[in-house]
């Protein structure tokens, strides 16, 4: 199998992620061995490890019908199998959104969600949790005939009446008219293909979306699935450029879904072979293609280097026949290289940011604990050497002073537990704004506002009411989080001043990423809603589905905010208790050393030797933690 630029990049990314996981798991083990692993921190690390292990890179391909999108998937990802994995011949258009991925510990299959499920209020994501609602066909990857037959399910359609189309949420005028006034609809609402391809095994997920009608009647695609993609590839026909229906998809769906902070976009001018002209030299052809690139860049308002000309069909033929000249002329290698750079680099940066946010402060805190232990041992060694020859009276005086310090630290621990209770109470009251009960109430109130008239006015009123309430709650949490951060800051300063702890400034709770995500969701929702106004009187189903999808995404953002606030409030005071315990242990050892000197104990030399050994070990651990910190902060 030929190793492409995309495969190499994905392999490097997988190795990088594996090494990062190894560092995180090693860090967790050190915390456990050193008795520094608190329950909340352990849960946070385990969730981070699980999320990295299950992490995927999603590439979404979006196009109107007959743009060669499915052929492009075949040529980029499945040409080495010397056949088309997905049906893409004339009249064989993929009718339902299709996810192509690899699920470990399962056999190859195609899983299909019946179109009748559109009658329910469940989202596609919710249906993924209930396999009983799907039809499954196992795939025999050693049998091209069986594979072809099974995957033809993706293009299956059936005839229904106008009344049935309305019940399923399809505006009749958007469907193809068949004999006897019947209308044509897809047999399946959604498909999932589990396939053991090396790219998919490396974590790539391909989302193949149908044309404009499917995007318009399934808001979950625009408002939930496309926003999850790390790169959106918009497929156009090179000979026609950006048509009116292409522009509708770009304006009403891609622009709505796209989040420039976290996603890439590229426009692919497919079928450039239709512009090849044997009666002219290659420079003439390239000039025509160049003009189409410039025009596409201007219309879509994107950089020219994001417009890539290819011929998916010629690229597929070239790979199957091992024709290097034809492959280069097809433009496919350039697209694969661009895709590998943009898609994977962006994803790697997002993971790096996530790990830095969730683990960076924790690792630095652990490093500070080790440095505190190291400094304590250095002081203890110095003290032991200076205690030699001291009178018993002086030793007794020093012992009493240390006992007094130990009692003060016990009082500090009592103060800490009282402070934790106060902190937990305030954090719990603040998190009530984002509780499941309150979120359900907001959604229910919005449904009531919309249920009388599922039209544009009802949609505006209900959605505005929901977003206003949710935004108000986020605002209250934001204000409360600032007050909570101020409280933590005062607590740290008090312990530093009153109990002589060496405390670094605590990190504030950062709610801004969640607010940005929420405001992006609101903007996306308003833009998508406005794009439906011309046909909204016939789209009661779409409006309802639109609200359900928006509410689902909003719930996820609010839940994530709630969880992050909980984790922060539980972990933020832990460095105080850790340092108090460290100081108490150090004082205990110092008192023991004095007691041994008072009784003329001869084991102090051994104690000094043990301290020297511990100092060496702690220096090694501190260097290891610095390496983990460097690893977390580095993308390479």
pLDDT single digits (tens) 121-159: 788 888 998 889 999 999 998 887 888 889 889 889 899
Same domain, 324 and 452: no
* CA 96-101-105 angle, 5° bins: 130
Say what the pTM is: 0.75
Query: Domain containing 146 — which CATH number?
Result: 3.40.50.300
CB-neighbour burial class of residue 356 (10 A; exposed 0-12, middle 13-18, buried 19+): middle
pLDDT single digits (tens) 244-303: 989 988 988 888 777 766 678 999 999 999 888 777 788 888 899 999 999 999 999 999
pLDDT single digits (tens) 370-422: 887 888 888 878 877 776 666 667 767 777 877 887 888 888 888 888 888 88
Give a yes or no: residue 520 inside a domain: yes
Query: What's the length of the chain?
Result: 636
Same domain, 321 and 410: no
Give 558's contacts (C-beta < 8 A, 6+ positions apart).
Answer: 434, 439, 470, 473, 474, 518
φ and ψ at residue 177, rounded to 5 degrees: -85, 130
Give a yes or no: residue 348 inside a domain: no
Closest C-alpha among 226, 230, 224, 308 to residue 264: 230
Helix axes 392-431 and 540-571, enclosed angle (nearest 10): 170
Coil/strand/helix, residue 100: strand
Same domain, 404 and 320: no
Select from 330, 356, 372 the last residue of a domain.
330
pLDDT for 461 equals 73
CB atoms within 10 A of CB 28: 18
Give a yes or no: residue 611 inside a domain: no
Q: Given the structure tokens 């839940």, which residue do they identify?
A: 559
Q: Give the residue numbers spanning the domain of 298.
A: 56-330
Give a yes or no: residue 373 inside a domain: no
Give a yes or no: residue 45 inside a domain: no
Q: Are 300 and 294 in contact (CB under 8 A)?
A: no
pLDDT single digits (tens) 596-608: 766 655 566 777 7
Q: Cα 604 to the chain's mean position, in Å?
A: 55
φ and ψ at residue 61, rounded to 5 degrees: -110, 125
Select from 308, 330, 352 the last residue of a domain.
330
Same domain, 405 and 324: no
Give a yes or no: residue 29 inside a domain: no
Closest C-alpha among 61, 63, 60 to residue 245: 63
pLDDT for 597 equals 67
Select from 280, 310, 330 the last residue of a domain.
330
Give a yes or no: residue 103 inside a domain: yes
Give a yes or no: residue 402 inside a domain: yes
- Looking at the structure of the chain, the number of domains it has is 2
Q: Hey, CA dihedral for 393, 394, 399, 404, is it positive or negative?
A: positive
Same domain, 403 and 323: no
Closest C-alpha among 193, 192, 176 to residue 184: 176
Q: Are 212 and 118 in contact (CB under 8 A)?
A: no
Same domain, 217 and 304: yes
């Amino acid at each position: 199998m030929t190793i492409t630029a995309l495969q190499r990049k994905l392999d490097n990314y997988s190795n990088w992620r594996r090494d990062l996981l190894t560092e995180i798991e090693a860090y967790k083990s050190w915390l456990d061995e050193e008795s520094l692993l608190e329950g909340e921190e352990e849960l946070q690390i385990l969730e981070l490890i699980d999320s990295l292990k299950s992490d995927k890179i999603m590439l979404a391909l979006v196009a109107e019908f007959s743009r060669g999108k499915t052929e492009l998937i075949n040529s980029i990802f499945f040409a080495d199998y010397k056949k088309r994995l997905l049906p893409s011949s004339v009249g064989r258009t993929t009718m339902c959104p299709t996810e192509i991925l690899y699920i470990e510990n399962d056999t190859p299959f195609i899983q299909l969600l019946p179109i009748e499920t559109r009658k329910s209020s469940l989202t596609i994501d919710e249906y993924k949790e209930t396999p009983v609602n799907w039809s499954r066909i196992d795939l025999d990857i050693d049998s091209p005939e069986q594979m072809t037959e099974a995957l033809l399910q993706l293009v299956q359609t059936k005839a229904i009446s106008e009344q049935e189309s309305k019940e399923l949420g399809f505006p009749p005028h958007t469907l193809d008219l068949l004999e006897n006034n019947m209308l044509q609809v897809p047999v399946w609402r959604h498909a999932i293909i589990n396939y053991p391809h090396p790219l998919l095994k490396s974590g790539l997920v391909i989302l193949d979306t149908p044309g404009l009608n499917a995007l318009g009647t399934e808001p979950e695609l625009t408002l939930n699935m496309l926003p999850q993609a790390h790169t959106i590839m918009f497929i156009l026909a090179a000979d026609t450029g950006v048509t009116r229906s292409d522009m509708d998809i770009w304006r009403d769906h891609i622009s709505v879904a796209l989040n420039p902070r976290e996603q890439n976009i590229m426009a692919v001018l497919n079928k450039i072979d239709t512009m090849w002209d044997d009666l002219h030299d290659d420079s003439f052809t390239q000039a025509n293609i160049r003009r189409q690139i410039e025009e596409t860049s201007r219309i879509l308002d994107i950089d020219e280097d994001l417009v890539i000309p290819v011929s998916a069909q010629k690229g597929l033929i070239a790979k199957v026949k091992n024709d290097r000249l034809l492959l280069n002329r097809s433009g496919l290698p350039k697209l694969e290289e661009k895709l590998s750079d943009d898609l994977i680099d962006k994803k790697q940066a997002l993971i790096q940011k996530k790990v830095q946010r969730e683990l960076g402060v924790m690792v630095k805190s652990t490093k500070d604990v080790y440095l505190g232990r190291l400094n304590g041992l250095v002081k203890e060694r110095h003290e032991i050497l200076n205690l030699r020859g001291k009178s018993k009276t002086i030793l007794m005086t020093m012992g009493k002073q240390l006992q007094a310090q130990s009692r003060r630290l016990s009082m500090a621990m009592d103060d800490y537990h009282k402070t934790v209770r106060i902190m937990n109470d305030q954090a719990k009251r603040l998190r009530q704004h984002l509780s499941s009960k309150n979120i359900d109430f907001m959604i229910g109130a919005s449904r009531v506002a919309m249920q009388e008239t599922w039209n544009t006015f009802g949609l505006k009123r209900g959605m505005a009411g929901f977003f206003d309430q949710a935004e108000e709650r986020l605002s209250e949490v934001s204000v409360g989080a600032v007050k909570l951060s101020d409280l933590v800051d005062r607590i740290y300063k008090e312990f530093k001043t009153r109990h002589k702890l060496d405390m670094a400034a605590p990190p504030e709770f950062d709610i801004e990423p969640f607010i940005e995500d929420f405001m992006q969701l609101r903007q996306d929702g308003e833009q998508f809603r406005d794009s439906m106004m011309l046909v909204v009187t016939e789209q009661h189903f779409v409006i309802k589905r639109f609200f359900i999808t928006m509410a689902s995404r909003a719930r996820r953002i609010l839940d994530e905010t709630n969880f992050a606030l909980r984790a922060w409030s539980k972990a933020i005071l832990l460095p105080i208790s850790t340092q108090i315990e460290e100081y108490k242990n150090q004082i205990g050892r110092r008192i023991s050393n004095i007691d041994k000197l008072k009784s003329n104990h001869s084991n102090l030399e051994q104690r000094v030797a043990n301290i020297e050994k511990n100092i060496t070990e702690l220096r090694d651990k501190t260097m290891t933690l610095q390496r983990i910190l460097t690893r977390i902060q580095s993308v390479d």
